[in-house]
Amino acid sequence: MKDHVFKQYDIRGKIGSEIDLDQVYDLGCAIAFYLKQQSPSVQRIVVGMDGRDHSPIIKKHLCSALVDSGLDVVFLGLCPSPLLYFSFTCFDVDAGLMITASHNPAEYNGIKIRLGDHSIWGTQIQEIKKCFYEKNRIEAFEKGEYCEKSVTDVYINWMVANFKHLKGLDLKILFDCGNAVAGIVMPKLIEKMGWKNTKVLFAEIDGSYPNHEADPTVEENMADAKKVLLQEGFDLAIGFDGDADRMAPLTKTGELVPGDKLMGVFSKYASINRRNFKVVYDIKCSSALSIYLSRLGIKSDVAPSGHSLIKNKMKEIGAHFGGELSCHFFFNDRYFGYDDGIYAMMRLLEILHSTHKSLDLLLEEFPKMICSKEFRIECLEEQKQKIVDDVTGAFAIREDVELLLIDGIKANCNYGSGLLRASNTQSVICLRFESVSQEGLEKVKNDFVNCIKPYFEESFLTKNIEI
């Protein structure tokens, strides 16, 4: 097991070269030991898995380790991550393990860990790593019990009961499940809601992701959906990621909507008739979101990227809603506060239904800003932070730049702003630029590219950072 698979928010890596399947049992023992150490009353663990090819063998070793450690296991089977979180409202369980690598390519897998109503992340993941390398395990007097239960129907029935007003919705909607676990839920949900004008792409579970990677925030992954959308005249298309904790829509005209613009839409309509409505957004979001929320009279705050950090900031300021550019959305308003792509979809459809407006039209009032996509540049894991530190030093000596350093570096100047940060989930650095003009956008981009040139071939940067 490679050191760097113990990441900021989960345990995740390439199967074979980074995660040895033969060591998953030992990892499960370490997780059990850590959970019991943190909360001696922990006894019942819920486990779910996504549709990746190696998820069943990971599940087998993981559940064996938990049971051998004296813990009881409730296995949910194939399910989206949000269904595992939802199961905490259905069963008396103490912790949860979700076998998934979310939006990563097919060769990756991993484990997300939840204790009570909190995600395990940061230094807690590092403590699990320590338990793993020290071979800590519980010497149980007797094995735990294992059972299998599904919450899929309960989850679907909850959605139907809470969105009765969307039954028989006449919008023409295209869904892309990406051959991932959204396909477990969406066909059944569509049938129960009586949505007749819909079409579902790639609902069959296939862990090799034969059609495209299950990350709908990437344009090329939505190419099939966009083609069908435009050819068949759908009102919108919605894609889901690998574990369905995110969704991203295409408008009627085929525009892929980033998370910050969607946050603007969600915030406006969730705040109606709500006093003191508060929103938290991540550092990657455009400054246009802050401007828009201010216009609406909505209080907002910025946080580093990462679901745990967003949720912590939301708790700190008592926020009703939070989200990220990457389309993780957290509704404390009418929901349980975790990221759920299917629930976010329902809230979006509710807005479209109640306003009788297209998504294109709703987005027109968002402040105009020219924003690049998020560029994710592969680099050596050990280089990520050094690149960020070097770029920070280069900008720090400039008198015309204002720096925000809560997560990497965000540099603001009179012609635009740029962000550089180290990814918490992959061996990449992330960049995004914005300006009110194309000329300013190019200038900001060049500022950052010149700073990172020592680490990359110039031809590589030219090819991979085009605006």
| pLDDT reported for residue 467 | 75
Quick one: 147 and 170 in the same domain? no
Quick one: 231 and 270 in the same domain? no
- Domain final residue, candidates 250, 285, 306: 250
- For residue 161, being part of any structural domain is answered with no
- Domain final residue, candidates 99, 120, 151: 151
Quick one: 67 and 122 in the same domain? yes
- For residue 447, being part of any structural domain is answered with yes
- Domain final residue, candidates 186, 216, 250: 250
- For residue 157, being part of any structural domain is answered with no
For the CA atoms of 124, 126, 127, 131, the dihedral, rounded to the nearest 10 degrees, stands at 140
Quick one: 378 and 360 in the same domain? no
- For residue 160, being part of any structural domain is answered with no
Q: Is 102 among the residues known to form the active site? A: yes
Quick one: 98 and 226 in the same domain? no
Name the band, by pLDDT with cuts 50, 70 and 90, for residue 150.
very high
Helix (H, G, I), strand (E, B) or coil at 40: coil
Mean pLDDT of 419-446: 94
Residue 171 sits in a domain whose CATH number is 3.40.120.10
Specify the number of domains making up the chain: 4
Quick one: 95 and 177 in the same domain? no
Mean pLDDT of 22-43: 97
Residue 376 sits in a domain whose CATH number is 3.30.310.50
Q: What is the mean pLDDT of the chain?
A: 96
Q: Which helix (H) or strand (E) holds 31?
A: helix 24-38
Amino acid at 51: G
Quick one: 381 and 359 in the same domain? no
Name the band, by pLDDT with cuts 50, 70 and 90, for residue 304.
very high
pLDDT of residue 298 exceeding 90: yes
- For residue 272, being part of any structural domain is answered with yes
User: In this predicted model, what pLDDT tens digit does every residue of 60-69 receive, in sequence order?
Assistant: 999 999 999 9
Quick one: 455 and 426 in the same domain? yes
Which position among 55, 81, 102, 326 bears the catalytic label? Answer: 102
- For residue 159, being part of any structural domain is answered with no
Helices of type H across 211-358 = 223-232, 259-270, 287-295, 307-317, 341-355
If phi > 0 it is left, if psi is from -120 to 50 it is alpha, else beta; for residue 233 that is left
| pLDDT reported for residue 424 | 81
User: In this predicted model, what pLDDT tens digit does every residue of 234-270 receive, in sequence order?
Assistant: 999 999 999 999 999 999 999 999 999 999 999 999 9
Quick one: 139 and 44 in the same domain? yes
Distance between CA atoms of residues 220 and 226, nearest Å: 10
User: In this predicted model, what pLDDT tens digit does every residue of 376-401 receive, in sequence order?
Assistant: 999 998 899 999 999 999 999 999 99
Stronger pLDDT, 144 or 457, i.e. the higher one: 144
Q: Which domain holds residue 200?
A: 166-250
Closest CA relative to residue 71, chosen from 94, 53, 48, 100: 94
Quick one: 50 and 125 in the same domain? yes
Quick one: 88 and 42 in the same domain? yes
Mean pLDDT of 30-45: 97
Question: What does pTM read for this prediction?
Answer: 0.94
User: In this predicted model, what pLDDT tens digit does every residue of 407-428 receive, in sequence order?
Assistant: 999 999 999 999 999 988 788 9
Quick one: 323 and 410 in the same domain? no
What percent of the chain is predicted at pLDDT more than 90?
94
